[in-house]
Amino acid sequence: MKAIVSIVAGIILTSSAIGQTPEQKKKEEMKDLKKDVVEKREERKEMGKDFTHAKFKKGLAERKEVRAEKRDIKSDEKRLKAQGVKHPVYKAKHKIKAEKEEKKAKL
């Protein structure tokens, strides 16, 4: 009985491990990195507007958010480089630009 239970548990664990391939993890990480890059750009624009309109308190709060996004981007970049992706931030920015061009072409 114990042998059957251990075999079934082994089958479940190996099938779940096989289901999570490194390629899927890379794709999820790249999507997260793209999202972080877009958010950082938007927050930098807001920060610049706040400082130009002399809203320093709000601008400094935005600056903290931009720094947090930058740290998040760096950590994602480090993980992707460990997985073997070369220049992940550049690739993310390139994909974002390509998606914008594609949207413009559809209009």
Please state the domain extents for the chain. Answer: 22-106
Half-sphere exposure of 105 (CA within 13 A, CB side): 6
Half-sphere exposure of 56 (CA within 13 A, CB side): 0
pTM of the prediction?
A: 0.70
93: pLDDT confidence band, cut at 50, 70 and 90? very high
Q: What is the pLDDT of residues 3-57, one digit of tens each?
A: 776 776 777 767 666 656 677 788 888 888 899 999 999 999 999 999 999 999 9
Mean pLDDT across the stretch 86-102? 92
Q: What local confidence, expressed as pLDDT, does residue 28 receive?
A: 86
